[in-house]
Chain A
Amino acid sequence: MGLRSSSRRRRPGRILALVMVAAALAGAGCGRFAVRASEKEHLADRTMRFDADGHESAADDHVLSNREGSAGGRGTSGGGCGCN
């Protein structure tokens, strides 16, 4: 009985998590129409890439992680969104 109650209590949380994941994926999917291939000239520019320079990102992380207690969360390079 206790186990069943516990399971019931967790279910709304799981449903909420599933809904959030589904919403995120649906939202991302809608983004397919955000920009046409012919409109990506500026998105392909190096200034629009996240972490376009792997060496600079790694060196920045090296410096900052030796001065601060936190780590990570600076994003990943590329992304591919600027490519036609």
Chain B
Amino acid sequence: MRLQLALARRAVAGAAVATALVMAAAAIAPVWADDQIDLTTTWYLERRRGPEGGLSVVHPQLDVQLDAGDSVTVGAGYTADVVSGATASVFSVDAVASATPFEDVRHEAHASLAIKGSRSGLSVGAGAAAERDYTSINVVVAGNVDLPGKNTNLALSYTHHFDHVCDRDNGMAGALERRALTGLQPCERSSLILVDDTPGETVWREVEIDTAEATLTQNLSPTLAVQAGAYGQILRGFQSNPYRRVAVSGVEPQESVPDVRGRLALFLQANKYLTGLHSAVHGAVRGYSDTWGVNSLALEMGYSQYFGDSLLFRLRGRVYQQTEASFFKDAFFYDTEGPAGAYFTGDRELAPIRNVLGGARLSYIGVGQDGESVWGLFDEVRFELKGDVLLLDELPANPEEDNPAGIGGQFLSSGQLIDAFVLQLALHTAF
């Protein structure tokens, strides 16, 4: 298999939604008053068992924002994912047996136009992304308004995605007869993002995603700010990983998941400035539930400490736990009992897991003083180095006492506590 999906398709779309929302919101955030160039590179390394090595993702991001007059800002940006590593092509009790190497490159570009008033902002944007087997076009609109006194801010955003994913042409085959895509089949495109079916071999399937978010930010005191919000998303269309097979009742059909998924997340976060220490404490909690039965809770704490005027150090920790999707079973039970209803999946993101993150970030901040610029060029320069360690605990979805094979071999990531590392370098400039 030459190429294989590097990342779960829903996750890729989710990341694009996040990029679109974050960039659109940033474009209208009143704190940005200068032209900006931001460059960030993130390296993600996930350890995996088997002879094919781990999973490596290099993720560069470049964004430019320029003021066009007093109240208009235009922005453009580019991101990429360069992915290589190992994946299990069959969800079974022995993931290592089907481990295969793969590589993939994803490109994404976006642009935005923002209008800012003294108390409000409105932004519209669009983006497009493409890789061998996935294309995406998105539009986003976001707005926010400060209520009188500028202690309360209401923000709304909406994003729509028009996506296509390449799939094996299985005609009218039933769920247990569908064959998975391999890197040998063509996924043809007539242009960068316009797709063409190859009858008898591959078809492009539609995925539409609507995402809306509303937030309320409130200053409670001169040193305490809170933010509460709701996030909703509806995904419609083909959401399986077309490459993944699942060992079900002695056969290995392509993974099968529902065509519709609704998601809801509610969150509350707070920042408290500690005047005497020249530092700040951060806290956040998020609850999540979706129509596939995944429910989760995430708690995050952070601490930022200034050293002088130019150095800022931040520590943070995050704990996350989720339940499995209603149709997820441990591999042994799919193979011996068959699927739960019409669906079956080998997606680790739909399994019961506990995820812990701990990390640190060091920032150098240079700000021009008394009319003098930084390095003779910029009003402000920020250089950042960040590292995170991620721990993963895979939990049983079915009674362990009834599972003689156990769950220790069903994912390539199983059996190792320290699961992944993130290293990030960033340069932010304002001029």
A residues near B (Cβ < 8 Å) are: 24, 28-29, 31-35, 37, 39-59, 61-84
Contact between A73 and B322, CB atoms less than 8 A apart:
no
7 A/B residue pairs, CB under 8 Å, sorted by A: A28-B218, A31-B218, A40-B219, A45-B273, A53-B426, A63-B388, A78-B25
Task: Point out the residues of chain A lying under 8 angstroms from B322, CB to CB.
Answer: 68-70
Contact between B355 and A67, CB atoms less than 8 A apart:
yes
A77-B231 CB under 8 A given contacts A47-B312, A54-B63: no
A-B contact count (CB 8 A): 269
Contact between B23 and A43, CB atoms less than 8 A apart:
no
Task: Point out the residues of chain A lying under 8 angstroms from B19, CB to CB.
Answer: 58, 61-62
Contact between A42 and B273, CB atoms less than 8 A apart:
yes
A78-B150 CB under 8 A given contacts A28-B218, A56-B386: no
A28 to B220: give the CA distance in the assembly, Å: 10
Task: Point out the residues of chain A lying under 8 angstroms from B384, CB to CB.
Answer: 53, 56
Most B C-beta atoms less than 10 A away, residue of A33, A45, A52: A45
B residues near A (Cβ < 8 Å) are: 7-8, 10-11, 14-15, 17-19, 21-23, 25-26, 28-32, 38, 40, 42, 44, 59, 61, 63, 79, 119, 142, 144, 146-155, 157, 211, 213, 215-223, 225, 227, 229-233, 263, 265-267, 269, 271, 273, 275, 279-280, 282, 284, 286-288, 290, 292, 294, 296, 298, 304, 306, 312, 314, 320, 322, 325, 347-350, 353, 355, 357, 365, 384, 386, 388, 390, 392, 420, 422, 424, 426, 428
Contact between A67 and B349, CB atoms less than 8 A apart:
yes
Task: Point out the residues of chain A lying under 8 angstroms from B420, CB to CB.
Answer: 63, 67
Given contacts A31-B152, A32-B148, A72-B231, 4 further A-B contacts (CB under 8 A): A62-B15, A71-B14, A73-B231, A84-B150
A47 to B312: give the CA distance in the assembly, Å: 9
A82 to B223: give the CA distance in the assembly, Å: 10
